[in-house]
Structure 1
């Protein structure tokens, strides 16, 4: 049975989720011990969650939803609440990303959010000056929620071009990097995910100033998300999209094939043993 970390101070937003969870539990005439047994989460964690003192994981929301016969209501509520935790400038992208049939991304510095492990994401988000532990946990939960698009029927295609330096940047330490690279290697097993590595030795400078994502949506013009040191930007201006597409095509043409990239990532994994 999953154990519980120490609780956070009460968070009003997650207290609303806790109240929703409690409502469904009581509707099914279950006590917390019953729900703990059904979900394999500890009673203390469920108690903290109902009081809004723990940020619930997507897994917890899914298991509770199934155990209580909530027909997806708890998962939908959890998704809404985690998206609300994201910065305002990112919320437009949260509507675009799940609507895309294909996502193309170039990342010169970090593993893309859709492939990040929870600990890698946590290490990245802790780097923001002045961020609190509670803010980090809310943002991690929101990032993990985005990855649920791969578990749905008809998930999008994800095409990633990654700078080789990302594989050797010690985000969070050896254990975190080891697990993160293993996560990417697992991604190769999915026909919906492709990863190509741009070799450091080539000295390519195209795209080094920032990462981006191109979303392709059926019946719509392509939309681009541009990363920056302050805020991201979402745009569908044709001149901006065309410029980003040209940049992406240039980078991808220099990247290793997926077959070779697997070997490159496996070699990098040895660094973090």
Structure 2
């Protein structure tokens, strides 16, 4: 029996188009899935599932495909579109703002903001949604980690994060996961592009939830996030109220040196 590849639906979504373009360039180069897998250091099954859109392309495959096919940034661009499809519409708009922002200010009430999360911490957190299958979890983890690409660019945003003390003390995953996460957080407390303050229990109650960011054009937006949904504020009056609350929170948080010491103290509780 002659093998016939599964028919593709390239115009169903950016993810489907990514897969169809991978197959088109692979066949044009006269490569089998096994041969391409050797070139891009992947597996045949992974590439086959990418082509049929059964699997979200891993973040590192885009550049390897561009290099293998000599397609400049074609697969890089398709990946950027595909990863945004994973999220709800309002969050896609938030991600657009985040990708252009010169200043990003965030507050973590129960968990760390996405840009501060390690891969294992993010995976453990996303697994809390029992409706997600393992593949969906990995897709969301990959999408979250890809948001950090710009932090390693030549023009990273300036980030200021305020972290509630409960985030440091609430075990999320294994002790090793928490220790790795807090070590990463400690490295970002006071750098040229990143500041982190801890909001101590002793500061009492406050109203702020979610995070805010400032796009390059200077128009500030605010985004409040919950487990299943979020809300993007673009109205100047609403953003102004958010800004006032954030400034109060910053004034009542620990200094950068005190915050670093509080993180070090929390790390001791997660020793093996």
* TM-score normalised per structure 1: 0.83
Separation of aligned partners in 2, 1:127 and 1:80: 26
Separation of aligned partners in 2, 1:183 and 1:46: 32
1:80/1:255 Cα in 2 relative to 1: closer, same or farther (>3 Å)? same
Deviations, residues 58-96 of structure 1 (Å, cap 9, x unaligned): 122233333432211111111111101101231221221
Q: Is the aligned partner of 1:78 residue 2:79?
A: yes
Separation of aligned partners in 2, 1:193 and 1:28: 44
1:45/1:126 Cα in 2 relative to 1: closer, same or farther (>3 Å)? same
How many aligned residue pairs are there?
A: 260
Separation of aligned partners in 2, 1:180 and 1:171: 10
SS at match of 1:158: strand
1:25/1:117 Cα in 2 relative to 1: closer, same or farther (>3 Å)? farther
Separation of aligned partners in 1, 2:116 and 2:189: 11
Q: Which residue of 1 aligns with 2:140?
A: 139
Q: Is the aligned partner of 1:225 residue 2:226?
A: no
Q: Is the aligned partner of 1:248 residue 2:229?
A: no
1:116-195 alignment to 2 at 5 Å?
A: 116-128=117-129, 130-188=131-189, 190-195=191-196
Alpha carbons 1:86, 1:142 under 8 Å: kept = no
1:22/1:112 Cα in 2 relative to 1: closer, same or farther (>3 Å)? same
Where structure 2 has 5 or more consecutive residues not aligned to the other structure, the ranges are 1-11
1:254/1:80 Cα in 2 relative to 1: closer, same or farther (>3 Å)? same
Separation of aligned partners in 1, 2:258 and 2:183: 16
Where structure 1 has 5 or more consecutive residues not aligned to the other structure, the ranges are 1-10
1:1-273 alignment to 2 at 5 Å?
A: 14-128=15-129, 130-188=131-189, 190-200=191-201, 202-207=202-207, 211-273=209-271
Deviations, residues 193-224 of structure 1 (Å, cap 9, x unaligned): 21111222x142113xx532222123342111
Alpha carbons 1:198, 1:256 under 8 Å: kept = yes
1:62/1:90 Cα in 2 relative to 1: closer, same or farther (>3 Å)? same
RMSD of aligned residue pairs (Cα, Å) = 2.6
1:260/1:237 Cα in 2 relative to 1: closer, same or farther (>3 Å)? same
Alpha carbons 1:113, 1:121 under 8 Å: kept = yes
1:129/1:211 Cα in 2 relative to 1: closer, same or farther (>3 Å)? farther
Deviations, residues 72-124 of structure 1 (Å, cap 9, x unaligned): 11111111111011012312212211121101111111110112122222222
Quote the offset at 1:244 in angstroms: 1.0
Quote the offset at 1:149 in angstroms: 2.1
After TM superposition, the structure 1 stretch with the greater mean CA deviation from structure 2, 72-81 or 252-261, is 252-261
* TM-score normalised per structure 2: 0.83
Separation of aligned partners in 2, 1:151 and 1:190: 13
Quote the offset at 1:44 in angstroms: 4.2
Separation of aligned partners in 2, 1:181 and 1:70: 39
Alpha carbons 2:196, 2:256 under 8 Å: kept = yes
Quote the offset at 1:158 in angstroms: 1.1
